[in-house]
Structure 1
């Protein structure tokens, strides 16, 4: 038979019974020797045995209660990771067991807090991994077309030496424009990385907001020669980061040009800037999503250059202590505005 360690009650009872038998035998012998009357001697021995029996029974009950308390504590320890809570109202037979129970409660609470922290960390890690996968997917999506165009035009120029000079110039111009697009995408990634790492800082200066809008208007009209940008308003001095606000205006106006066919109107009224278009518009369910990084609407493919354009605008405006306001109606157009 395999040796098994005794339970607490079994151990206590074995010791008590052994001690009781030897002690009872010893005192019974003494009583029998020193009491001449046999009846009195047997009565005394019977009372001694009854006393020992009551004593052992009382010890047995206490030992069983202590054993049950030990089992309860051991059950908590065995299922520490699965146990949701400990019975805080449990009353223990001795102060030592009560102290063990209280310490066990502290251990369980601490373990649960560590588990919650671990779960939050894992959730953040999963989110970061998902965002990283989204970024890789967005980069691959945005870079594929310009790279394919560059390779296609370059291969044509290399294989066909008889291409007319005018067509060569056109192909080279296409290659250059796609290279510029890739450079712009990379710049946008670098800027977003600065926002993510907290390295982006403001370099404020005083400048005329209307003059800046005029410069952005001129730049985009060269890029979109068939489109019209109407600038309304008057001179207004502000103190802000001129470079970052130029990115904001360029992003908002270029988005309006991409997603509308009519003129784009830019108004400046005492520090309140609005970019208005009569384009596709945005559904009410998408308005709160278009400023999220990597967001792409399934309805109108709001790619915004890897889904970072409006997200960058939002972060720049937050650095300036303001926010982007969007009003839009599908098939009627959108208004993007902010106040400095």
Structure 2
């Protein structure tokens, strides 16, 4: 509806502009004819000079029309020139290029769309740079660690305990690299997917209960108390993808929780949606960082002391979006973090 109004507005503006041009030209022509009659150049009986006078009037009208068209189109050509220069800046990587057209209305819309596009491209460029920097750091760090400890293992004077310790570190760093590669592949897979495939109807409550059982030993390792209230709810979706969501969120409740902490898991149906709430009593997230938790490679712990590569929640959000759902995060430092996922039962 909005696009139709835009087209009608542009057509109407152009029609009015052309009408005014024709009207002015006609008025000038009529005034010249009247002037010729007034001074006696044209009379009803004096037709010998009529052809010459008409030709003169036509030439004057053409000249006037050309001048008027040139002057009236000057501002339009100037606006187009600005647009060309701005697109050239954008094509050369200058995402600060902006347009400021206030009239005509369609040029104002063009400027707003261009500015939005430039802003989006600038944001993508920042994300791309951050992705490269963070990926390089996450990939390089374990490789350096593996290389260093592998070189130390060549020494013959190491005790069995030291050798085992260094081997354990190499194994952990290898697992870290494997996890990074897997998450990057998973992220690449879901980011290039716009249409959800391989959907089926299944019990999402049962799937979450199974995920809890899979991670039971990890919950017990930190003596975490589980508060589970999971209803049987059926949904149409990609079972494998949603399983990644629950495992990722539940693992985070373990990783960032305290010993003897609490994790609450609630699943219920609300009208045509299924609402999943997962909360922990862990370390929490700073208020300013809550909006960044879904960004690629973002980790609030800049020292990277906490295991992880900052891709899990990015994948989670993309999977939820593919299911036409939403995910919200709330957190208080030292009190805990909660995630609320809303999914439609039918796609």
Distance change (3 Å), C-alpha of 1:235 and 1:156:
farther
Match 1:220 to one of 215, 223, 238:
215
Measured on the aligned residues, the alpha-carbon RMSD in Å equals 3.4
The offset of 1:160, in angstroms, is 3.3
Task: State the Cα distance separating 1:332 from its structure 2 match.
Answer: 1.3
Q: Distance in 2 between matches of 1:219 and 1:152?
A: 34
Distance 1:131 1:101 in 2: 45
* Matched residue, 1:244: 241
Q: C-alpha offsets along residues 239-296 of structure 1, whole Å, 9 cap, x if unaligned?
A: 2111211221122122222222113232222332121111222333332232233444
Match runs of 1:43-122 below 5 Å: 94-118=64-88, 122=93
The whole-number CA distance in structure 2 between the counterparts of 1:153 and 1:235 is: 49
Alignment of 1:159 onto 2:158 = no
- Residue 140 of structure 1 corresponds to 136
**DSSP 3-state at the match of 1:339:** strand
Change (3 A) 1:152 1:221: farther
Distance across 1 between alignment mates of 2:123 and 2:220 = 42
Distance 1:157 1:206, change over 3 A: farther
CA contact (8 A) 1:290 1:302 kept: no
Q: How does 1:1-340 map to 2 (within 5 A)?
A: 94-118=64-88, 122=93, 123=95, 126-160=122-156, 163-164=159-160, 171-198=166-193, 201-222=196-217, 226-227=221-222, 228=224, 230=226, 231-261=228-258, 262-270=261-269, 271-297=274-300, 305-340=308-343
SS of the residue 1:307 aligns to: coil
3-state SS in 1 of match to 2:221: coil
Q: Secondary structure, in 3 states, of the residue corresponding to 2:287?
A: coil
Pick which of 127-136 and 224-233 moved more: 224-233
CA 1:238–1:119: 2 relative to 1, 3 Å: same
CA distance in 2, matches of 1:170, 1:207: 45
C-alpha displacement at 1:144, in angstroms? 3.9
Q: Deviation of residue 126 (structure 1)?
A: 4.6
Given that 2:191 and 2:318 are in contact with CA atoms closer than 8 Å, whether structure 1 keeps it comes out as: no
Structure with higher Rg: it is 1
Distance (whole Å) between structure 1 residues aligned to residue 210 and residue 304 of structure 2: 29
Q: Tell me how far 1:211 sits from its aligned partner.
A: 3.2
| Cα distance change on mapping 1:205 and 1:276 into 2, 3 Å | same
Give a deviation string over 1:117-170, Cα, whole Å, max 9, x none.
445554255544432221122113323443344334433433237643x76556
Change beyond 3 A, Cα 1:202–1:126: same
2:102 match: none
- Secondary structure at 1:291 match in 2: coil
Gaps of 5+ in 2: 1-62, 96-117
**How far did 1:324 drift?**
0.5
C-alpha distance in structure 2 between counterparts of 1:299 and 1:150, whole Å: 21
Aligned residues: 248
Task: Give the match's secondary structure for 1:273.
Answer: strand
TM-score (ref. length: structure 1): 0.61
| Offset of residue 98 of structure 1 | 1.6
Closer, same or farther: CA 279–150 of 1 in aligned 2, 3 Å: same
Q: Structure 1 residues 146 and 298 mapped into 2: Cα distance closer, same or farther (>3 Å)?
A: closer
